[in-house]
Every structure is written in structure tokens, then in C-alpha cells.
């Protein structure tokens, strides 16, 4: 069982991605789900640069009582891009979980210009840290659901296997946070992500 599943204490989920990938929406879905579960929730995020291709982070904290909206460490990191997944490892302790869209690579300018390399071998980096890696081909799942833009929610589906909310609460969270016109496609993406964990489509590795 993941460290993230004890809801008596405060659980911290950190979402990491690239501007435009829907990090803020994914955070809102988790927050609404935790709220539906009857928990106290706080989130924090930085706006402004969020649509300009920069790194975006959002933090969701829930439990019976939550004080601070921020945290330097997380129980679960959800990364919608591979490099951001590498970055997210810094927030995790042994036993933590990294849910990462490992087939999504958005190359930053410095890498495109050949000034520095794109990091390699996330499974080894996660294992070295004792972090459970849930590696997801979220792009394929999102396309299967009907839109490549649903990488964020497909990944949430995978993350739902380590966050101890009932499926019904996730559905309520989705309905509360996702605009009605794109709810259905996101529900499909979520279901595909949730099913994928443990199936042949997803490789589970790491220190679990």
C-alpha cells in the first residue's frame, strides 16, 4: 500500500507539467474528489506564466485538517511530461509514488539548442530513490479516449489507484471540475488510465 492512502494525516499531491497541459484542471479534479470524500482540501498554484510553455506546478493537500497550502515534499507526484517527472522525484521520499506520462516529451529550448541533454532512464532514477514509478503511456490512452489533450486526466485515472478515493467520488470530482462539453471524453480517459494500471499496457517498476 502506498504512503498516500492514509487519509487521517494530510496527504500531499504535487502535479507537475508544462504550461498548457491542464495541470490546474487536474489539480481541481483531485480537490473536488477529496472534497466529495468529505475531507478538508487546500490547493496552491502559480498563474500567469501557466500558458507560456514554462514548468507548472500545482499542489493539492487534503485530510481531516489542513493548514498550509504548500509543501516541499509530496506523497504522490503526478507528472504529465517525462522531464517534469524527473524533476518531481526531488519531492518524493522512499515509498512515495510517481505517476508519470513517460511517452510525453516536451523538449525545452536549452535541450533543443543542444546545450544540455534531456534526462534519461526515469525507472533507474526512481528506483535509486525508492520511489514507486507508475509509468503510463498517457498520450496513447488519451487518443484512445478521443483527444490527445486528455493526457492529464488519463494520468489521473492511473493515479486513482494510489489515491484512496472511491471511484464514485472521482466521478463526482470530474463532474464538478471539468466543463460539461468535454466531460465525457475525460471520463473515458480517466477510465482508461485507471484500467491501465496493472494491465499489460503499463509497466510498473520501482521500489514498491
Nearest distance, CB of residue 115 and another protein, angstroms: 8
Crossing angle of helices 138-145 and 183-196, rounded to 10°: 140
147 binds another protein (CB under 8 A): no
Residue 198: alpha-carbon gap to chain centroid: 17
The only residue of 6, 9, 51, 94 in contact with another protein, by rule CB under 8 A:
51
Could you tell me which stretch among 81-89, 164-172, 177-185, 198-206 binds another protein (CB under 8 A)? Answer: 81-89
The only residue of 6, 68, 73, 110 in contact with another protein, by rule CB under 8 A:
110
The only residue of 9, 70, 107, 183 in contact with another protein, by rule CB under 8 A:
107
Nearest distance, CB of residue 190 and another protein, angstroms: 23
Nearest distance, CB of residue 87 and another protein, angstroms: 5
Amino acid at each position: 500500500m502506498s504512503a498516500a492512502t492514509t487519509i487521517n494525516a494530510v496527504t500531499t499531491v504535487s502535479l507537475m507539467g508544462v504550461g498548457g497541459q491542464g495541470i490546474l484542471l487536474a489539480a481541481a479534479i483531485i480537490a473536488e474528489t477529496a472534497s466529495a470524500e468529505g475531507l478538508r482540501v487546500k490547493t496552491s498554484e502559480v498563474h500567469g506564466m501557466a500558458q507560456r510553455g514554462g514548468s507548472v506546478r500545482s499542489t493539492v493537500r487534503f485530510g481531516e485538517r489542513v493548514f498550509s497550502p504548500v509543501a516541499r515534499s509530496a506523497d504522490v507526484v503526478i507528472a504529465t511530461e517525462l522531464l517534469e517527472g524527473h524533476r518531481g522525484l526531488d519531492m518524493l521520499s522512499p515509498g512515495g509514488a510517481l505517476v508519470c506520462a513517460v511517452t510525453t516529451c516536451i523538449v525545452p529550448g536549452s535541450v533543443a539548442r543542444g546545450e544540455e541533454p534531456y534526462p534519461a532512464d526515469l525507472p533507474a532514477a526512481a528506483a535509486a530513490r525508492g520511489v514507486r514509478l507508475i509509468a503510463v503511456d498517457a498520450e496513447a490512452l488519451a487518443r484512445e479516449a478521443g483527444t490527445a489533450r486528455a493526457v492529464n486526466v488519463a494520468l489521473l485515472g492511473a493515479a486513482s489507484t494510489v489515491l484512496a478515493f472511491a471511484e464514485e467520488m472521482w466521478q463526482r470530482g470530474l463532474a464538478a471540475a471539468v466543463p460539461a462539453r468535454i466531460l465525457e471524453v475525460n471520463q473515458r480517459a480517466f477510465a482508461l488510465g485507471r484500467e491501465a494500471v496493472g494491465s499489460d499496457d503499463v509497466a510498473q517498476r520501482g521500489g514498491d
